[in-house]
Amino acid sequence: MQLYNTMTRKTEELQPMDGKTVKMYCCGPTVYSDAHIGNLRSYIFEDILHKTIELAGFDLKHVMNITDVGHLTNDELDTGEDKMVKAAKAAKTTVLDIAKMYEEKFFNDCKKLRIERPFKTPRATEYVGKMIAFAKALEEKGYAYLSGGNLYFDTSKFKRYGLLSGQKIEDRNHGERVEVDENKKNQSDFVLWFTQSKFEDHALKWNSPWGEGYPGWHLECSVMSMDTLGEEIDIHCGGVDNLFPHHENEIAQSEAYTGKKWVNFWLHGEHLNLKEGKMSKSKGHKFTVSSLEEKGYLPEHYRYLCLTAHYRTQLIFSYENLDSAKNTYNNLVKKIKELKKEASKDSNSELLDIYILKFNNYLFDDLNSPRALATMWEALKDAELSAKDKLSVISNAEKVFSLGLTEIEVDEALEIPEDVQVMLDQRQEARANKDWVKSDEIRDHIASMGFAVKDTKDGQELSKI
């Protein structure tokens, strides 16, 4: 299995450190509002990765954190208002209630999108004691300094700082309006522990050796990852916006702490964007799973749309794109129903193996879901492949695609009452004579008897109302 590693900028073979179990950590949601479908694209990508690793025969330990403390409006500058406090104030409730509610909603959305729950999903608030111990150890090793009441990580002490992203905060300042934090020795330095916020008061505070306060956002991922998966892991994921400074800072503090390499593979999922630009919670965009459902889409339609783009390419969201995914998905469902009806028993195992191998190899090639999807369709259209074998291709695809394809049931044969059948025949005759008025009259009459008629290219289709 080959994966593109952001750290080396190369596609490399995945080989778990212990030869068997892949240890994977993914940055999780900040639970202060509904996840938008852009956020969820990142979790769908991680789910595809999760299931492809298992398809390749590895064991997997997948951990994802829940950020229920802190995560400032603008982390890049370590400034801004605490997002959770802001949301709690707006809803006139407590920060922890906000977190609990949105965490539940998040997992509910994931379930709808058939995203498998990681092995562990630790909450930041449950790890504050361990974060304090971690920051204390960094201070004792000389990597941290206290300034203006906050404990900062000194990036100049960590020589490999900037290797992942190829940038430092200083590099970005040209032409950009960046607020300078006078407390920092270097502008790349970041807060491990806050006792002083330049902004509004924070609801959640803990005692620490540096005074009462709360952890900086970056700290939680290093601490929870090491606690749940050990000091070295195989894969770390997140959306591209996490790459800098968040992941760069995670590396600095983790490797300063252990003195060894922390992560083998860094994987980053590209964004879901709107034609007019970025989709983001802070801009108040309301594209959620529920809002799509309200418009008549299934969560599977959105998951299908995500599969049509490689995870390292941007995907533009529009209702036209979603409609096209919906139509293709619905055709797929229809096709599967037809295959199930055929009930053929013959098999050409050689051809079937070729398709499954081809499908799997596309996924093993840095999760090429669009090509895997195309291979699945190619198999479905292959006249040489029996219905039974086609359904085997679908079952194999479903292991990773998770579109509910193996749950599809054949519609029960409709019993057509004799008088309805007579009318259907009359209507067919009227249509053959282009007598549309009569055709519509008969359709209304059939409707009054509890049946709907739809005209398809294969003729009249009857269903119960």
Residues found near Zn ion in the complex (CB under 5 A): 27, 221
Query: Does 41 participate in binding ligand AMP (rule CB under 6 A)?
Result: yes
Euclidean distance between CA atoms 263 and 177, whole angstroms: 33
Question: Which residues, including other chains, have CB under 8 Å from residue 254's CB and lie 6 or more apart?
Answer: 222, 225, 226, 262
Q: Assess 30 for contact with ligand AMP (CB under 6 A).
A: yes
Residue nearest to ligand AMP (CB): 239
| Residue 52 lies near ligand AMP (rule: CB under 6 A) | no
Q: Dmax over Cα atoms in the chain, in whole Å?
A: 91
The CA distance from 107 to 123, in Å, is: 13
For position 242 contacting ligand AMP by CB under 6 A, the verdict is: yes
Q: Does 38 bind ligand AMP (CB under 6 A)?
A: yes
In the complex, minimum distance from the CB of residue 167 to Zn ion, in angstroms, rounded to a whole number: 18
Provide the minimum distance between the beta carbon of 226 and Zn ion in the complex, in angstroms, as a whole number.
Answer: 13
- Answer yes or no whether residue 322 interacts with ligand AMP by CB under 6 A: no
Check binding of 27 to ligand AMP (CB under 6 A).
Answer: yes
Answer with the entry of Zn ion, ligand AMP, none that 221 interacts with (C-beta below 5 to 8 A by kind).
Zn ion
Among residues 61, 168, 271, 301, the one that binds ligand AMP under rule CB under 6 A:
271
Amino acid making up residue 176: E
6 is an interface residue for ligand AMP by CB under 6 A: no
| 116 near ligand AMP (CB under 6 A) | no
Q: What is the distance, to the nearest Å, from the Cα of residue 68 to the centroid of all Cα atoms in its chain?
A: 19
Nearest distance from C-beta of residue 30 to ligand AMP, angstroms: 4
Tell me how far apart the alpha carbons of residues 418 and 438 are, in angstroms, rounded to a whole number: 20
CB of 276 to ligand AMP, least distance (A): 13
CA distance 443 to 452: 8
- Of 108 and 406, which CB lies nearer to ligand AMP in the complex structure? 108
282 three-class SS: helix
Asked if 235 and 25 count as a contact pair (C-beta separation under 8 A), the reply is yes
Q: Counting Cβ atoms within 10 Å, is residue 129 exposed (0-12), middle (13-18) or buried (19+)? A: exposed
81 scored as a contact of ligand AMP (CB under 6 A): no
Tell the smallest beta-carbon distance from residue 280 to ligand AMP (Å): 6
The one of ligand AMP, Zn ion, none whose footprint includes residue 30, by CB under 5 to 8 A per kind, is ligand AMP
Q: How many other C-beta atoms are found inside a 10 Å radius of the C-beta of residue 4?
A: 19
Q: How many CA atoms lie within 13 A of 122 on its CB side?
A: 20
Distances (CA, A) of 288 to 105, 228, 312, 329: 11, 30, 22, 20
Identify residues 273-292 at the interface with ligand AMP (CB under 6 A). Answer: 279-281
Among 3, 164, 169, 272, binds ligand AMP (CB under 6 A): 272
- Site residues for ligand AMP, 96-115, by CB under 6 A, read none
Provide the binding-site residues for ligand AMP, judged by CB under 6 A.
Answer: 27, 29-30, 38-39, 41-42, 238-239, 241-242, 271-272, 279-281
